[in-house]
Amino acid sequence: MDNSREAAPVDLRRQELLGAIDYEISHRETAASRHGLTVWTIVAAVVALLWAAVNEIVDNIHIWPNVALVLFTGRWGLGLLTLLWTKSLYAALSVGFSPESGLGPKQFVLSKGGHPDLLPYYILEALVMLCLSIYLGIKGFILLSVLASFGQVLVLLFLLVAWVILHVCLPLKLKPSAGTEQQTKHAIYVKTGVYLLLGLALLAVAWSLVPVCHTLGRADIRLGLLLAALLTLFSVSLRLTSVPLGVDQLRSVRSKLAFGLVSPTAARSETENILLGSPPQNFVTEKAQAVIAELKECICHCDRVVDLCGRVTVLADAVRAAAGDKASLGEIASEFRTIFRRIKAEVNAMKWHNAEAANLRIRFVRRIEASKLLLDIKPEVIKAAKKGVELEADAAVTARRKTAEAYEDSRASFDLLCKSQKGDIRAPKNLTRSDVFAVLFQD
């Protein structure tokens, strides 16, 4: 199976691609305002409900089991009343499209109107409702507690599975349903089970309310409904006030494309990764690029150390030519100490990048093994990624060898400069480069 995405019949030009990115950014930013609700409207509603609830708690005496029962009933009732509106809201908030090749988990959630970053809040809400169900069971509403707890546990399991899928590093693809007869039957069974559970829960609510309806005071009903409205508003407002996902990334791609920092082909590939999710081969190639980047940094630091060692040799020749000139020796000593500070910093940075490259290379090998088992990636892609890492690793080894040779070639110069500054002090022959730098850098 070919892992590359199908190319469009006509390649997009720069201006066309900029227009497409602008449209996607505008669509994601304006999706939340299509129902006319603003952040300030939601904040005002939350403040008003909180104020009314606090006043109700302070001014009246309540029977808290009754308040909990009304809260639970009101939350379910308001959820059912706003169900159609919530569906239309999520349809308006949906972004992206569903190609036949499938979408990444985050992109799939966005295409359904959800927001991947809000899953922890939904889990928190489900936990609150589960605790409320357990509290009602403790207070004697056994049937209602059992049915509600069972439903909330199912919701929690679903949310936890979704959270795990969203955080898996593997480039999973969620494809739209093909609509086969068997899948249609399964969907009917699932919907029937959900409706049956909701119906039983409503019957349990009615069964629980009948014996205690005469004990429900107006204050308990008001407070329960206020808290239920507050919880419902919290659930709905999360999606309305959430920051559009991917907008910052799309803006970055647009800026790089507009200023000519990337080609239209590269910008289109990066945009597709944002809108559709990374293709399977990126699971391997991204880690390979990270390893190569660290190795390149290591090589750069090695080259700088070589240049600085060459400068040390020049300074040693200058000391010999100074013939006791104190002014010249003072300038040489000052530059020598500055060079050693730079050498020490470069060596420490070289070691850090080398260790980071080694760690990333271990992860790169693990990803290769995982991709062979779980992903359909062409062997040529894996082979090219491994070859690129190996070539850069060989270059890093060569650079470190040149650094060691440069130090050995300039050892006499190091000794001379050190002696000229600090008296008869010579670096021992068996010290490592780090030890030598530490000795020579001492004041």
- 276-335 pLDDT, tens digit per residue, is 766 778 788 888 989 999 999 999 999 998 999 888 888 888 877 776 677 777 788 788
Q: What percent of the chain has pLDDT over 70?
A: 74
In terms of domains, do 90 and 191 share one? yes
> Do 252 and 147 belong to one domain?
no
Q: What tokens does 414 get? A: 């190091």
Asked whether residue 9 is domain-assigned, the answer is no
Residue 424 or 34, more confident: 34
pLDDT at 234: 83
Domain assignment present for residue 225? The answer is: yes
Residue 246 CA, chain-centre distance (Å), reads 11
Amino acid found at 229: A
Q: Same domain for 405 and 420?
A: yes
Higher per-residue confidence, 69 vs 209: 69
- Looking at the fold, whether 352 and 233 belong to one and the same domain comes out as no
pLDDT of res. 341 = 85
Domain finish residue from 255, 274, 293? 274
The pLDDT score that the predictor gives to residue 163 is 84
102: left (phi > 0), else alpha (psi -120 to 50), else beta? left
pLDDT tier, 425 (very low <50, low <70, confident <90, very high otherwise): very low
* Assigned domain for 385 exists: yes
Residue 145 and residue 134 in contact, taking contact as beta carbons nearer than 8 Å: yes
Collapsing DSSP to helix, strand or coil, 130 comes out as helix
Same domain, 125 and 230: yes
* Helical segments of 242-281, H only: 247-258, 264-276
Mean pLDDT of 406-411: 84
Q: How far apart are CA 69 and CA 221, in angstroms?
A: 9
For residue 250, the enclosing domain spans 246-274
CA distance 31 to 20: 16
Residues 326 and 236 in one domain: no
- What does the alpha-carbon distance between residue 269 and residue 186 come to, in Å, rounded to a whole number? 37
Residues 29-64 pLDDT 10s: 776 566 666 778 888 888 899 999 999 888 888 888
Predicted local distance difference test score (pLDDT) of residue 387: 92
Structure tokens at 137: 């069971």
Give residue 105's region: left, alpha or beta (phi > 0; psi -120 to 50): alpha
> Average of pLDDT values for 233-241?
78
Q: What is the pLDDT of residue 366?
A: 86
The one-letter code for the residue type at 32 is A
What secondary structure letter does DSSP report for 372? H
Has residue 181 got a pLDDT over 60? no
* Mean local confidence (pLDDT), 65-72: 86
| Structure token pair of residue 208 | 């629980």
In a domain, residue 18? The reply is no
Q: Are residues 214 and 346 in the same domain?
A: no
User: Helices 64-81 and 218-241 sit at what angle, rounded to 10 degrees?
Assistant: 40
Please check whether residues 232 and 268 belong to one and the same domain: no
Amino acid at 113: G
| Claim to verify: residue 78 and residue 115 sit in the same structural domain | yes
Domains held by the chain: number: 3
Tell whether 221 and 291 lie within a shared domain: no
The answer as to whether 369 is a domain residue is: yes
Residues 254 and 292 both lie in one domain: no
Per-residue pLDDT at 8: 44
Q: Which two tokens stand for residue 156?
A: 């929690």
The pLDDT score that the predictor gives to residue 304 is 92
Higher-pLDDT residue of 171, 402 = 402
Distance CA 421, CA 414 (A): 11
- Domain assignment present for residue 181? The answer is yes
Nearest to 166 by CA among 130, 123, 208, 203: 123
| pLDDT for the residue numbered 51 | 93
- Domain edge (last residue) among 230, 258, 274: 274
91: in domain: yes
pLDDT value of position 294: 93
If we measure between CA atoms, which residue out of 55, 83, 53 comes closest to residue 71? 53
The pTM for the full model equals 0.61
Same domain flag for 339 and 259: no
Band of residue 92 on the pLDDT scale cut at 50, 70, 90: low
Domain assignment of residue 97, yes or no: yes
